[in-house]
Amino acid sequence: MKQIAQYQDGRLEVQEVPRPIAPPGGVLVRTTHSVISIGTEKMKVEQARMNLLQKARARPDQVRKVLDTARTLGWRSALEKVRNRLESPTPLGYSLAGIVEEVDPAHTRFRVGDRVACTGAECAFHAEYVAIPDLLTARVSENVENWQAAYTALCAIAMQAVRQTEVSLGDRIVVMGQGLVGLLVTNLLQAAGARVMAVDVQPSKRAFAAAMGAEKIVIQGEQNLSDEVRTWTEGYGVDAAVICTATQSNAPIEQAAEALRDRGRIIDVGITKIELPWKIFYEKEIDVRFSRSYGPGRYDPGYEWCGNDYPIGYVRWTEQRNFQASLQLMAEGKLKLGALTTLCAPFSQALKVYDDLMQDASRHVGVVLEYTLAKLSEGPAEGGVSLDGSRPSSRKRISKPVQEVDVIGAGNFARTMLLPHLAGKLKFGTVVNQTALSSNHVKTKFGFREAGSNANALLTADSPQALIIATRHHLHAPLVIKALQTGRHIFVEKPLCLTREELAGIDEALSQSEGTVQVGFNRRFAPATIELRKELSTISGPKSISYRVMAGKLDPNHWYANYAESGGRVVGEACHFLDFFCFLLGAPVRVLAQTTWSNTGRLSFPDSVAAQVEFADGSCGQLIYSAEGDPKAPKEAISVYGAGLRAEIRNFLELSIYRNRKESKGSFRSKGHAEQMDAWSDYLQGNREHPLPYEQSRTSMLLTFAVLESIQRGSSVRLEGNPESAGRAANLAATGRS
């Protein structure tokens, strides 16, 4: 892998070095973005380029160490030690974001594929791979991009400084220095309800400070700070001053002390000279504080490298909790990182970037390095399915009410579970069945206007009518695509399709159609499900659902046993129950599945499966779909666990809720077929929004395909991206769809 190395003679190199391994209890991360901390790193590079005399003047503490060595070991040993130090490369960087590639066996918080922010000058280097201990790593949420998360360490430094101010609403605070950290301090103080005066010596910082929320901006040399403070505070002085400068002058400290009110507070963040004039500090009784990097835990090996967290009751804001708070503010859009990012460059150009930053004319503030490289793991370690991207969606409301519905495939299921619930609500147009006799029977029984046996003839011209597709599974996708091309509003019985390729074809057809699609995932419409969802909405935190289905043995002569027609029981049946999980738990992120019975012999595809699904909020769904068992047991049994709640559903006829040491029971008569048909007919008549948006059905199908892939790979499969993300919504809004 490649890493930036700095030498004490001033050289910077990008070197090929061995890839690290995850530290005990930690993770190995593939870097996607890192941020150059211009103030700190520029100072290191400048010091490295100094001659020995300049180095000695800049770092008298190091000179004292050399003298101590000379006194104890002699000058020859001292000079050898200095020479070795000058010859040895040191890393640069301490704030980045990336993807977890390996996890130490003792680690429990992250998994391979997780997006994380990483911090620490001891480990979060400008390098393609980094080994990070547990508490210097924080999970990145879906609403935060990796380039933003790469700022986490710098944001935590600024956050700890703001905490040291003990800011209150309406406080007036001076921030001395508007470099990268100073601007972040300004941003955070403004977000906390303070009024901020930003102070710098460079006029170019004025626009940045204004963008970060400064109420008043003072450029030293153009304005008199003392006069500006007196006017701004009605003569009282500011409540606090945050020193974010890096200078050998004592002027910032003296100016801050003068600007403070009686018993004001100074917080030092930058590496700056501090000599406290006794008179003003004594008379004002000024409180002087230092802000130590990211917060409590910093520089404590037991915390950072051994993973010994501090109890929240004793230390509310540790560095790890500051990381999490920073990422939350990013997710909420309260950190204006785009306003201060002046350069995003490829990691391959890092040396040129550093050369440019060293020039006096450089006015860069936030500089992000972007890494492009292959994943460490190649092979079947973990699959991935993308849920994201620009995809069509069902219209919320229909543009013109539909009065008539046609049907393709009116077998026993459609005649029993679908058509009776539409009778009297919509007119029946044409019914198409495989045989003329059965078509005519359905026409007579339900009052269709016409009967036929040629589906293609029904779909040859544009039609505003609705269409039910209840054929065998292999015909679903071709018929949906053809019907969308004629502008139909479609109800298709599950599954929507049999492959990802067919799903992509439906995506394309829907994006160019005035029609809509709804899939027959009726379990989400069942009254017991709706009641359960209401109960779950009143509790917080992740939930766990165990869904057991005793499907019974599959007759090898049944059409379901013909894989080409049915797609097998996982796609054809289990999709129902996976959609139930998505309806109650939200966006799936990972699944691990296995077969629980042999899939060799006469049935050569999965007949009994178990799948564990992880969801974005930490919830989980466990599906056991089995052909084995005793038929006297309920076919479907569901157990739900949440904070202070347990629920049980049996065949969607009974719902028991256990809460506050009490049990409440409900009885129902439907698995949701009638309710779904009612909702769809109301939608077709313009009385409600679409009851099952396409993107939700799409996610459930992708989860179903991921279950099959997990079985085939023998490993977990990650579903990447949130189908309801803000970026996607904006994309759809641009095309007029929602």
In the chain, the amino acid numbered 585 is: L
Structural tokens at position 718: 């990650």
Contact 176, 220 (CB under 8 A): no
Report the length, in residues, of the chain.
738
Find out if CATH 3.40.50.720 is the number for domain 153-291. Answer: yes
Res 395: pLDDT: 56
pLDDT in tens, 474-526: 999 999 999 999 999 999 999 999 999 999 999 999 999 989 999 999 999 99
**What distances in angstroms separate CA 575 from CA 531, 572, 724, one per listed residue?**
22, 6, 20
Contact 421, 714 (CB under 8 A): no
Res 723: pLDDT: 39
Cβ neighbours around 181 below 10 Å, total: 25
Structural tokens at position 644: 């202070």
**Exposed e or buried b for every residue in 240-254, given b needs 16+ CB within 10 A?**
bbbbbbbbeeeebbe
Q: Is 609 left (phi over 0), alpha (psi -120 to 50) or beta?
A: beta
Res 380: pLDDT: 37
Mean pLDDT by 10 residues, the chain (738 residues): 85 90 93 91 64 56 64 68 67 94 87 93 95 96 94 98 97 96 97 97 95 96 95 96 93 96 95 92 96 95 94 96 97 95 94 87 90 56 56 65 92 90 92 86 92 87 85 95 94 95 94 93 96 95 95 78 83 94 95 76 65 94 90 91 96 96 94 95 92 94 93 86 38 31
Res 731: pLDDT: 33
In this structure, the strands spanning 238-243 and 172-176 are parallel
Q: How far apart are CA 611 and CA 203, in angstroms?
A: 60
Contact 2, 130 (CB under 8 A): no
SS3 track for 146-196: HHHHCCHHHHHHHHHHHHHHCCCCCCEEEEECCCHHHHHHHHHHHHCCCEE
Helix axes 694-713, 500-511, angle to 10 degrees: 160
Query: What contacts 276, CB < 8 A, 6 or more positions away?
Result: 253, 257, 288
Res 381: pLDDT: 45
Query: What contacts 600, CB < 8 A, 6 or more positions away?
Result: none
Contact 697, 518 (CB under 8 A): yes
Q: Is 672 left (phi over 0), alpha (psi -120 to 50) or beta?
A: left
Q: How far apart are CA 354 and CA 364, in angstroms?
A: 11
Neighbouring-strand partners of residue 196 = 173
- Give the neighbor-by-neighbor strand order of the sheet with 544-550: 383-386, 717-720, 588-595, 609-615, 620-626, 544-550, 636-642, 645-650, 654-659, 662-667
Cβ neighbours around 421 below 10 Å, total: 17
In the chain, the amino acid numbered 538 is: T
Q: How far apart are CA 283 and CA 203, in angstroms?
A: 34
Q: How far apart are CA 635 and CA 130, in angstroms?
A: 50
CATH 3.40.50.720 range(s) for the chain read 153-291, 400-513
- CATH of segment(s) 400-513: 3.40.50.720
Helix (H) or strand (E) holding 280: helix 278-284
In the chain, the amino acid numbered 280 is: I
Contact 577, 625 (CB under 8 A): yes
Structure-token match 């495989």, residue found: 434
Q: How far apart are CA 224 and CA 240, in angstroms?
A: 18
Find out if CATH 3.30.360.10 is the number for domain 524-673. Answer: yes
Q: How far apart are CA 604 and CA 601, in angstroms?
A: 6
Q: How far apart are CA 112 and CA 134, in angstroms?
A: 14
Find out if CATH 3.90.480.20 is the number for domain 2-151+337-370. Answer: no
CATH 3.90.180.10 range(s) for the chain read 2-151+337-370
Is there a cis peptide before residue 693, judged by omega within 30 degrees of 0? no
